[in-house]
Amino acid sequence: MPTFDLSADDRFILEIDAQRIEFIAREHPNAPGIAHAIEGGKATVYRVTDTATQKDYALKVMKQQHRDPALTDICQRLRALSTVRGLAACDRVCLTDASSGPTVRRYPDLRYAILMQWITGRTWFDTIRSRGQLRMPDALRLGLRLASVLDELEGRKLSHCDIAGGNVIFDPTTFEIELIDVEDVYGPGFERPRAVPLGTQGYQHRKSAGGQWSADADRFAGAVMLAEMLGWYDHRVRDNAWGETYFEPDELQDENSWRYPILRRALEAFSLSLGILLERAWRSIELAECPSLAEWQRHLETAAPPDVDRRSVAKPRWVPLGPVPPPPPPPGTTFLPLPIESIANTSAGGWTGPIEHDAMHGSPPFWKALPVAAASADPPSSPAQPDPTDRRT
Ligand SMILES: Nc1ncnc2c1ncn2[C@@H]1O[C@H](COP(=O)(O)OP(=O)(O)O)[C@@H](O)[C@H]1O
Ligand SMILES: [Mg+2]
């Protein structure tokens, strides 16, 4: 069986609900000739472009042990959340034998792979790793955006369950935030995952060793990330960050941590109450004892000077906001157009055309393109090439 390995500019076809869509693999920004692939703990994510529409997508190819049939239902359920602020990555399709038989038979690696929109921006992981700087008002903006997204989830009784640097993408201009890696989202009535998420090192509450899949699963990780973001303007915080997270994983909730007072002081420059919220999370025995995300949101709004916009005001660029399923936007409005690029190997044939966005319940799935294009040639067979740079959770 051919493995699904992509090099930059490889073209390949995905068959989804009897439609054949041609994609091209984007080149890694720092590695000419190599596909833009990012390896996480459960999957490798490729940046690919629909050759007809020039829209960018993320193709999340699950590692073998994470190819779980339950992903079919999970993705279906997530689609209903895709209009919630910060959850655009829920607009997705899972490749299964039913939806994509020819593709997954040819490339078994693609069984339960997930196709979703590519979200532009920087991950928080990248920012910490590169010690990227933030001005004080921007740190506050970023913290407000994250608090706002997490508060909204909390208000809907949802939790992401793995708030970590690699799972949070922000726009460096507007500071709007999108959460990715949403397969383990908790919600009322959702089926408990076979492997309950444990969170990611550097953001794990001491009780998370037994798994964190509950309404309050984001309280501790959210507090740590909010503190990282808010404190990042301070060079003492950046200079003393442990690595890809501010805290060394074993240091979390340790009363002797020397990094803790540095971060807390940076928060207190905004407001003493923010330091107290962090302290409550730090000392908590149970997740539920951590401050709610609504509390963070409230105190951040109070801390923000009038010239810092309090809540996320800009609409996400790809989906309408609001709890009620909105009508689908017109074709072509939901994904960010970006420069082209390419990858992998697949079979011939092809159809292309604008991809419609599925806003939510009842509307057609977003990958259902309109016109059918001419068949494409067999994709180039390129040897697998490892992504040299990206390693994220
Ligand atoms: N929709 C997306 N848009 C842009 N980048 C993405 C998207 N999904 C994933 N990524 C990138 O791929 C990385 C790994 O994806 P993720 O879903 O977190 O995989 P894992 O479950 O293995 O942790 C992320 O840290 C992010 O950099
Ligand atoms: Mg991840």
pLDDT value for 322: 30
Q: Which atom of ligand 1 is nearest to the CA of 166?
A: 25
Q: Decide if 49 contacts 341 (C-beta within 8 A).
A: yes
Place of tokens 């005001």: 313
pLDDT value for 391: 44
Contacts of 199 (CB under 8 A, 6+ apart): 161, 162, 163, 164, 205, 208, 212, 217, 221
**12: nearest Cα among 44, 48, 40:** 48
Residue 359 clears pLDDT 50, i.e. is over it: no
Q: Which atom of ligand 1 is nearest to the CA of 165?
A: 25
Distance CA 327, CA 150 (A): 25
Residue 15 clears pLDDT 90, i.e. is over it: yes
Nearest-CA residue for ligand 1 atom 27 is 166
The mean pLDDT value for 294-299 works out to 97
Q: What is the pLDDT of the chain when averaged over all its residues?
A: 83
The mean pLDDT value for 102-114 works out to 97
The mean pLDDT value for 72-98 works out to 96
Q: Which atom of ligand 1 is nearest to the CA of 45?
A: 12
Ligand approaching nearest to the C-alpha of 82:
1
Query: So where are the chain's domains?
Result: 1-118+318-384, 122-303
Q: What are phi and psi of 227, to 5 degrees?
A: -65, -40
Helix H or strand E segment including 57: strand 56-62
Nearest-CA residue for ligand 1 atom 19 is 40
pLDDT value for 304: 76
pLDDT value for 354: 25
Tens digit of each residue's pLDDT (9 = 90 or more) over 268-278: 999 999 999 99
Tens digit of each residue's pLDDT (9 = 90 or more) over 21-50: 999 999 999 999 999 999 999 999 999 999
Ligand 1 mutation target, pool 57, 176, 180, most atoms within 8 A of CB: 180
CATH number for the region 122-303 comes to 1.10.510.10
Residue 383 clears pLDDT 80, i.e. is over it: no
Supply 87's token pair: 């959850």
Ligand 1 mutation target, pool 30, 38, 126, most atoms within 8 A of CB: 38
pLDDT value for 303: 87
Please count the CA atoms within 13 angstroms of the CA of 149 that sit on its side-chain side.
30
What sign results for the dihedral spanned by CA atoms 267, 270, 271, 277? negative
* Cα of 61 from ligand 2 centre, angstroms: 12
Residue 329 clears pLDDT 80, i.e. is over it: no
Ligand approaching nearest to the C-alpha of 391:
1
* Residue 210 pLDDT class (50, 70, 90 cuts): confident
Q: Decide if 110 contacts 58 (C-beta within 8 A).
A: no
| Strands 19-25 vs 27-28: parallel, antiparallel or unpaired | unpaired
Tens digit of each residue's pLDDT (9 = 90 or more) over 361-379: 334 445 443 233 333 333 3
Distance CA 223, CA 19 (A): 44
* Cα of 165 from ligand 1 centre, angstroms: 10
The mean pLDDT value for 182-200 works out to 94
Residue 191 clears pLDDT 90, i.e. is over it: yes
pLDDT value for 312: 53
Global confidence as pTM:
0.82
Please count the CA atoms within 13 angstroms of the CA of 36 that sit on its side-chain side.
20
Q: Is 1 exposed, middle or buried (0-12, 13-18, 19+ CB in 10 A)?
A: exposed
Q: Which atom of ligand 1 is nearest to the CA of 116?
A: 1
* Cα of 349 from ligand 2 centre, angstroms: 33
Q: Decide if 112 contacts 68 (C-beta within 8 A).
A: yes
Report the Cα 232 to chain-centroid distance in Å: 21
Nearest-CA residue for ligand 1 atom 26 is 166
pLDDT value for 371: 31
The mean pLDDT value for 345-367 works out to 30
What sign results for the dihedral spanned by CA atoms 205, 209, 215, 217? positive
Nearest-CA residue for ligand 1 atom 25 is 166
Percent over 70 (pLDDT), the chain: 77
Q: What is each CA distance from 367 to 84, 182, 232, 354, 377, in whole angstroms?
A: 20, 19, 39, 9, 21
Q: What is each CA distance from 145 to 152, 207, 234, 336, 384, in whole angstroms?
A: 11, 27, 19, 20, 38
Nearest-CA residue for ligand 1 atom 18 is 181
Helix (H, G, I), strand (E, B) or coil at 143: helix
Higher pLDDT, 359 or 189: 189
* Cα of 351 from ligand 2 centre, angstroms: 31
* Cα of 55 from ligand 2 centre, angstroms: 23
* Cα of 206 from ligand 1 centre, angstroms: 25
Distance CA 299, CA 144 (A): 10
The mean pLDDT value for 241-259 works out to 97
Q: Which atom of ligand 1 is nearest to the CA of 41?
A: 22
Residue 382 clears pLDDT 60, i.e. is over it: no
Residues with CB under 6 A from ligand 1: 38, 40-43, 45, 58, 60, 89, 116, 118-119, 123, 166-167, 180-181, 392-393
Ligand approaching nearest to the C-alpha of 36:
1
